[in-house]
Amino acid sequence: MPYGIGAGGLMGIALEATAGTYVAPTKYVPFTSESLHIVEDTQWRRPIRESADVIGAVPGNEHGEGDIEMEALEDIIPYFLYCGRTSIVKGGTTPNFTYTVTPTAAAVPTATMSITIKRSDQIFGYTGCVVGSFRFGINNGMLTFGVSVIARSEAVQPSPSATWPTTVPYGAGTYSVEVPTGSPVLDTDTFEWTVEDNAEAQFRLKDTGRGADFVKFGERDVTFTMNRDFLTRADYDLFKSITSQSITLEAAKGVNNSISLLTPISFKETYEVGLSGQGDLNVANIGYRASIDGTGKSYQITIATQENITV
């Protein structure tokens, strides 16, 4: 039987006690797609020596990178956000906890993560994983979450045995959108929210392997888009006058199961209105860019969950 034929897979995650040192999964993630892979900067030798061909290879630096897409589950998202450029304040007591997430200007994350992936019957263990960007979206009524990951290295690991979470995703009928915050709107049908911290693997001269020593962050961009019914020019005029707004989206299944996204100061970056056909709806596609408020934050995420995470 040819190798590579088979079905099934799993993903497990764990926060690392020591950055870059593999930890077996402590939480399992139902995901929809992943593209984690190892990037090798092999040095292909082409010295001038009477040859038109490559004459050999010298090992260069290596690191892991890729994207993971999943359902937005309140008991899983905080693990990934701990490995981003964030400050997280945990409140509450068993069994109900609240994680308040705000951005920082730190050069490196609070924590790193081991990500274990089973592809068919093969196991891959990525170490020192850092979330360089993350995004929320709504796909046919379901809240989704995606991350772009940079890993320091990779290690082969034994096959884990999963214990799957039973958390229910957020579906249609669970959302509240406020533009500005405190003023609910009912004319929005799409929403996509992205935080990009421009992470980059860093290498140093050493004798302890080829993987990255750490992952550093760059400049941050917080952007989001939504479609709204175009009823009057009032919102369009705010775009033309570069007027800021505070915007909130909350998904809630109950008092202790919710995800809230807030940008306290948001400016409309693009505003497109057009008719696609005779008698069609007049719809506005609006792109926003967030800036910092008086406390220095460009966004805030509040997650209510029964998950107790210790860092």
- Evaluate whether residue 52 is within a structural domain: no
- Please, which pLDDT band fits residue 130 given cuts at 50, 70 and 90? very high
Domain span at 133: 9-39+61-157+171-305
Short-list 113, 142, 115, 145, CA closest to 130: 113
Residue 5 has pLDDT above 60, yes or no: no
- Please, which pLDDT band fits residue 143 given cuts at 50, 70 and 90? very high
Predicted TM-score (pTM) of this structure:
0.93
User: What pLDDT is recorded for position 25?
Assistant: 96
pLDDT, tens digit (0-9, with 9 covering 90-100), for 172-192: 999 999 999 999 999 999 999
In angstroms, the CA 304 to CA 92 distance is 9
In angstroms, the CA 72 to CA 253 distance is 12
In angstroms, the CA 208 to CA 115 distance is 21
In angstroms, the CA 80 to CA 134 distance is 9
Residue 4 has pLDDT above 60, yes or no: no
- Evaluate whether residue 267 is within a structural domain: yes
* 141 alpha carbon, distance to own chain's centre: 19
- Evaluate whether residue 162 is within a structural domain: no
Residue 158 has pLDDT above 90, yes or no: no
Mean pLDDT of 154-182: 92
DSSP-based three-state secondary structure for 240: helix
- Evaluate whether residue 105 is within a structural domain: yes
Domain count along the chain:
1
**Could you give the count of Cα atoms lying within 13 Å of 167 in the half-sphere of its Cβ?**
27
- Evaluate whether residue 310 is within a structural domain: no
- Evaluate whether residue 297 is within a structural domain: yes
- Please, which pLDDT band fits residue 246 given cuts at 50, 70 and 90? very high
CB 71, CB 169: distance < 8 Å? yes
Mean pLDDT of 266-287: 89
pLDDT, tens digit (0-9, with 9 covering 90-100), for 53-69: 999 999 999 999 999 99
In angstroms, the CA 223 to CA 196 distance is 8
Radius of gyration of the chain (CA): 22
Mean pLDDT of 237-253: 95
- Between residues 52 and 155, which one has the greater pLDDT? 52
In angstroms, the CA 19 to CA 237 distance is 49
- Evaluate whether residue 122 is within a structural domain: yes
- Evaluate whether residue 100 is within a structural domain: yes
Mean pLDDT of 206-235: 93
User: What pLDDT is recorded for position 2?
Assistant: 58
41's tokens? 């900067």
User: What pLDDT is recorded for position 66?
Assistant: 97
Burial 48-72 (b: 16+ CB within 10 A, else e): eeeeeeeeeeeeebbbbbbebbbbb
User: What pLDDT is recorded for position 222?
Assistant: 98
